[in-house]
Amino acid sequence: MKKDTVRFVCSECGREESKWLGRCPSCGSWNSFVEEKVIASSSNKTQQVMPIIDKEIKSLSDVAVDEATRFDSGISELDRVLGGGIMRPSSVLVGGEPGIGKSTIMLQMLSSSAVQGSVLYVSGEESPSQVKLRAIRLGLDLKSINIFCDTRLEALLDVIEKISPAVVVIDSLQTLSTSTVPSIAGSPNQMRACCYALSMVAKTKNIAMFFIGHVTKEGVLAGPKIVEHLVDTVLYFEHAETGVRFLRAVKNRFGSVDEIGIFRMDSDGLKAVKDPSEFFISTKRGEELPAGIAYTAVVEGSRTFLVEIQALTVPAKSGLSRVYSDRIDVARINRIAAILERHAGIRLSDQDIYINVAGGMKINEVSIELAVALALYSARNGKPLSSDLVSFGELSLAGEVRPVSFLEKRVKASNDLGFINILSPTKLPDLKMSTCKNIKQAIMISSALK
């Protein structure tokens, strides 16, 4: 009979070692190894049998493809991010900071979805009375939601087998545990085993399975990375300074990862934001802009909206200039500043540069580079830009302004909000637009517009 032993498992990536290590060789995390007891297997112990999707070997051309089932979640922004609605079968992992609204949006989805069949909410962190009080506050239909408050995987599988739900929400994945894994709930091995078992059950039982996941202080999903590989879709909730919530997909087997859902939190739950520009443009139309403000249009999936770029320059302290920007990549700001200094004669090497995006949204699009450059020019010279000016273009190291994609969508979104001066490297026919070939010409045109 083998004796019980111990092993050490990395809490970040799940790597196993026979002894404790200060730094994980796989993911590089420090002090991430935790001790787990390995119980010797016995012949009379019942092991959890994982479901098998298909054990036959066949040609790919002979595989039967069922018609995919997609239904509305009842929340337009969630449907947008998921690729048009909830798929059956599927497994979705939803992560975000504490209190951002993960449980709230899942309860709202269960109450308002157009699915044909029962739904199940599995709560491992709250009692049934707590969940009911929240549902009452949100004004949800209590009779449409079944609740189960047991974190044992075996008990949960029995309930799923008994009621055959169409949608299951697990709140949260870190609270689940199975007797086949000798470690506490929330450990990497427990999360991996429970996620794998439930994902396979979702595929065999035609269930839409949603997992709510915790995040670490670094802002990434807690647990082994393999959990994100096991599920079909990974969603992240982000929080902006204005109280707006952003829902993004970093992985989606059934749709695009370029879509973004925008919500605001009210007393009765999360509400979809239909016109995002009202949150990202702080200055009222027609008012004179302060120096350092520029507008641009960004495209997120099928949605186009305008954002306000804010820039500020002040003399550098101790002769060492720095860049402060947490909404746009600092390396991009440094590159734009170098282009302005080299090709437009605007000295920024002796200035501290502050860049912000109104509304707190993080932007990675290259189309914002021209607007950032104009905002820096305006801030450095103290000359406001026209309040009716919208610019978009990519800057090259040679000082050229290059075309960007989805020009028609950007121009239409700008005109719909009353912006009449459009500055771009290319021009659409039959439209009044200003074109520029380089950054120096763009500055001249923007300075002439009032």
Q: Which residues are annotated as a binding site?
A: 96-103
Element (H, E) at 333: helix 330-343
Distance from the Cα of residue 337 to its chain's centroid: 29
DSSP reduced 3-state for 44:
coil
Beta strand ranges found along 142-243 (DSSP E) = 146-148, 167-171, 208-213, 233-239
Instruction: Choose among 236, 305, 301: nearest CA to 273.
Output: 305
Give, to the nearest 10 degrees, the angle between helix 128-138 and helix 102-112. Answer: 70
Q: What whole-number distance in Å separates Cα of residue 182 and Cα of residue 176?
A: 13
Give the pairing of strands 434-435 and 421-424: parallel
Q: What is the DSSP letter of 179?
A: T
Which residue numbers belong to the known binding site for ATP?
96-103
Instruction: Choose among 374, 329, 335, 334: nearest CA to 352.
Output: 334
DSSP reduced 3-state for 5:
strand
Residues 6+ apart with CB under 8 A from 179: 48, 152, 154
Instruction: Choose among 92, 80, 77, 72: nearest CA to 262.
Output: 77
Classify residue 361 as left (phi > 0), alpha (psi -120 to 50) or beta.
beta
Q: What whole-number distance in Å separates Cα of residue 264 and Cα of residue 206?
A: 32
| Cβ-based neighbour number of residue 431 at 10 Å | 12
End-to-end alpha-carbon separation of the chain, Å?
Answer: 87
Tokens of residue 358, six digits: 């109104």
